[in-house]
Structure 1
């Protein structure tokens, strides 16, 4: 049987490995084109391409999967099953209709919640306590296909989008390995999604990264975690970008005495800076930044940054 695998980031690599370790024949891999990365803009292959080349698997990198020449290349491979995991492009009907066993996707959420390109980030940003992986048939809509299997994964206060990506990628690969024999034997019954219960996780925009200090402390804490390690939340300091990599979980008691303790200081005001980090006024109390990255520098502890830059109480972030 010919399996075509489609994926791009590190999240997809364990699923590709699971197929290979289980003895399936992966005839080719489709991934995004190489892109320039870093300050020197070095052309860099995707993690899935790197993994495929280790195993001598042919790699296709169409700029647009919908173009006729790309569809023709895939058709020539005569795939019996297409498996995708965070590929990054919507498959056209001409591709979806090719394989005998259909196209299945290893999606990083408990569908129908968080359909879209950033389900893992939004689960953290929205303060969810549990998420998971859904394997589903692909349809023409965005993550609207019938579901084949799910696995739940708890989200802890110590999780970031990065740690959750790692957990879900491994859980998704294990789930894929478990269900494939039954799928190919026709023993799985797909369950339609309830569209009325759907929520969406669209691709993150630059505006989503900017911290609004007037929001509640816990909401800021979750947004910082959900944007770590990419694209990273930020504020402004002296007109320059100050990335915020990590915060301490806010003390819920701080909100009870916000006005008394902070004397009406506006959100974004630095209340203190010391060995514990930089404490900033929020909409309902305060939050302590523990790791930041000033423009043109590497990430560092907030305590180190405040010593070197003289982050004095009364400084206002966001301007």
Structure 2
């Protein structure tokens, strides 16, 4: 199930794991806790790189677990218990996906659980690591059944600190551009953003916008001008939170316990993957919530560990 030293990234060995059951198989890397490939009936459902070593310098976060805090923190700054926290900037004037050495750029430990057809990945981030306060011990368990791919994410901390993880697959069910994909999202509202993609602090109705996917809608029909979408959708709590399909392809149903879903249509992909060839559907807390008192808190404490569960059901 696990191949040790499958490749090397930044001078360190990277392990690879394969889970298979029925007509599905998933390949994972210990670097970044990356989902490198997910196949259904031999057809790949996500974007990846042919050479696993290419993930070491990937600027697009393909398949990673993003954190400590996924998405953007304005100015790379926030206050916690009266102290100012300063984080490195890696997205213009902002901090993105945990910074240049976030969890998606770390080497994780990988162990198999054959009885559960699962892989357990762990990573410890020390106090001050990446600018964040507190020691955080992360665990991601990826399991595969004949009908579901599931990510269970946990973090235990030794003092209050923000945690917001996101699984960052780019989905493409047919190959080529994603305009023929049909999507439904259980969201009546989204978070408007400024020119730096930082939320303005309030929600707005999706009605009348290209982000209105309350009913199943072809992405190419919603965004006929190919503007691109990259917003956090405010989930209603109804399940599934999202449903993605395409002509002749399987249907993926996303179940999550998170309040938001970052929806990105891959406008800025480049290199091995052309723009608009992947769709990110990333359950998570709200972006920049550490600076937005009206948003659900991202602060985790020793008495209240972080837990997230994402399950993708296949029809």
Instruction: Give me the TM-score of the superposition, normalised by structure 2.
Output: 0.25
Instruction: Give me the TM-score of the superposition, normalised by structure 1.
Output: 0.25
Give the structure with the higher percent helix.
1
Larger Rg: 1
Higher relative contact order (CA 8 A, sep 6+): 2
Give the structure with the higher percent strand.
2
